[in-house]
């Protein structure tokens, strides 16, 4: 069974649009929490997104993987940074995380094929 992370993120985005329309205050709160947690600080936004990816792998969340991989590519993650993050996620979670690390690689390859190489890659 093959899945498309582009399609997953598009489908979830459409559902989130419904939530934004029907539960705007709750979604504004989630958005504020996201912006506050992920903004540059002692850790860069890139490093925070790498952490979020590792948590998404550990939680086995396809949409989390898709959204964070897409943002990591936009931020210019290197393949080496990406792979080291997945190695730590696998180390911390064993076999099930290994399977979702493989899914994250598929998401990375799918998004880079569609969006091009990350900024600063190379």
Q: What is the CATH number of the domain that holds 54?
A: 1.20.1290.10
Q: Whole-prediction pTM value?
A: 0.83
Domain residue limits at 96: 5-115
Q: How many domains does the structure of the chain reveal? A: 1
- The secondary structure of the chain as a DSSP string is ----HHHHHHHHHHHHHHHHHHSHHHHHHHHHHHHHHHSSSSS-HHHHHHHHHHHHHHHT-HHHHHHHHHHHHHHT--HHHHHHHHHHHHHHHHHHHHHHHHHHHHHHHHHHHHH-SPTT--
pLDDT value, residue 121: 59
Is residue 122 in a domain?
Answer: no
Is residue 121 in a domain?
Answer: no
Identify the weakest region by mean pLDDT among 10-14, 84-88, 97-101.
97-101
Please write the tens of the pLDDT for every residue from 23-33: 999 999 999 99
What share of the chain in percent tops pLDDT 70?
A: 96
Please write the tens of the pLDDT for every residue from 67-93: 999 999 999 999 999 999 999 999 988
Residue 7: pLDDT over 80:
yes
Is residue 19 in a domain?
Answer: yes
């Amino acid at each position: 069974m093959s899945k498309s992370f582009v399609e997953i993120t598009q489908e979830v985005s459409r559902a989130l649009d419904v939530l934004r329309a029907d539960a705007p205050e709750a979604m504004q709160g989630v958005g504020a929490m996201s912006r506050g947690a992920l903004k540059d600080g002692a850790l860069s936004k890139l490093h925070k997104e790498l952490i979020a990816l590792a948590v998404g792998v550990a939680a086995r969340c396809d949409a989390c993987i898709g959204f964070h991989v897409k943002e990591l590519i936009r931020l210019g993650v290197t393949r080496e940074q990406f792979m080291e993050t997945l190695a730590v996620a696998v180390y911390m979670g064993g076999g099930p995380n290994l399977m979702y690390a493989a899914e994250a690689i598929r998401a990375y390859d799918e998004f880079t094929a569609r969006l091009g190489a990350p900024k600063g890659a190379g």
